[in-house]
Amino acid sequence: MKRPTAAEIATRKGAAFPVITAYDAPFSRCAEEAGIDVILVGDSLGMVVLGFDSTVHVELGDMIRHGAAVARGTQRAHIMVDLPFGTYEASDELAIASSSELVKRGAATSVKLEGGASAAARICAIAGAGIPVCAHIGVLPQTASLGSGFRLKRERDRLLADADAVAAAGAFAVVLEMVEDSIAAEITARIPIPTIGIGSGPGCDGQVLVLHDVLGLYPDAPPFAKRYAELGAATTNALRAYAGDVRARAFPAERAKATREGNGYRS
Ligand code: KIV
C-alpha cells in the first residue's frame, strides 16, 4: 500500500480523521500499526523530544533528521513536516529551498507552515514548486511567545480571512490551533479543504494531538489534550526495576548468558 498523497488527504473533507505527531521510527511505526496514516513531524519536537522551552530553537536539520526517521519507520503513512521558525518567512525562495530540502532528503511528503493571510504568498510559492503545503492558523506556536500569544483565538473576521486566504493560496489542508469551537466549525463548513483541529473543538474535519501528550510522556501537556496512556510513569517503573536488578545482581542471569552464546546478537 502506498503513502496517501496530499491530494488524497484533501478528499477527506467531511470525514473525521486522526493525525498524530511522531518524531522517530519506533513511535511512527506504532502510529501506522494503529491505523493512523497521517503523521505530523511537528516542530513540537523542540519541546517534547529535544528539551527546549519553545519551538524557535528547532532547525531545518532537526526536521530532516526526524522526518527521515519517521519515513524509515513507516510505509503507508503520509509524512507532513513542519518548516521550522526562520526557514520560510523571509522570501519565497527560502521557503521553496527549505521545503525542497525536506523532500529531497526523504523526510517529507508535504510541509506545514504557520500563518494565515500573511503566509499566503509562501504557500502559493511552495505549492507552485510542486510541494504540497498544509497551513496552520489560530495560535501560532513559533511566534506565540514573541507576542502573538497562546490564548484561545476568537477574532472571527480575522480567522475567517486567514482560512480563506490559505485555501485560496493552494494549501491542501489547514491546522486550526486553539480556535474557538463555533468559529472552527464555521471555517470547516466554509472552506473547501479539510481542517485539522487541535484545541478547536469537535467541528473540525480531522484532529491532531502531540504524541507525547497522548502517551503521558510530557509534563506540560495543554488542557485540551487527552492522555490515553501513562508511558512516562511506566518507563520510570521499568527503569527502577532494571536498576534494582543490577544493584541486586539479579540481572544479568546465567540463562541470559546461555541465550547470548547460542543465538548471537540481533540477527
Ligand atoms: O508542532 C506541532 O506539533 C504542531 C501541532 C501542535 C499541530 O504544529
| Span from the CA of 20 to the centroid of ligand 1 (angstroms) | 9
31 within 8 A of 21, measured Cβ to Cβ: no
Q: Which helix (H) or strand (E) holds 133?
A: strand 133-138
Catalytic annotation, residues: 177
Q: For ligand 1, atom 8, which residue shows the shortest CA distance?
A: 42
CA gap 49, 51 in Å, rounded: 6
Superfamily name with CATH number, domain 6-230? Phosphoenolpyruvate-binding domains (3.20.20.60)
CA gap 218, 52 in Å, rounded: 12
> Residue 254's pLDDT is what?
74
170 within 8 A of 124, measured Cβ to Cβ: yes
Q: Mind listing the pLDDT tens digit for each residue in 158-205?
A: 999 999 999 999 999 999 999 999 999 999 999 999 999 999 999 999
Read off the pLDDT band of 236 (50, 70, 90): very high
What residue ranges do the domains of the chain occupy?
6-230
Q: How far is CA 27 from CA 32, 73, 181, in A?
A: 9, 8, 30
Does residue 1 surpass a pLDDT of 80? no
CA gap 72, 238 in Å, rounded: 27
213 within 8 A of 192, measured Cβ to Cβ: no
State the average pLDDT over residues 78-103.
Answer: 98
Read off the pLDDT band of 148 (50, 70, 90): confident
Q: Determine which of 38-52, 83-97, 136-150 has the lowest per-residue pLDDT on average.
A: 136-150
Specify the 3-state DSSP secondary structure of 212.
Answer: helix
Does residue 267 surpass a pLDDT of 90? no
DSSP state of 153: B
234 within 8 A of 217, measured Cβ to Cβ: no
| Span from the CA of 193 to the centroid of ligand 1 (angstroms) | 18
**Cell numbers representing residue 95 in the block:** 521557503
> Residue 145's pLDDT is what?
86
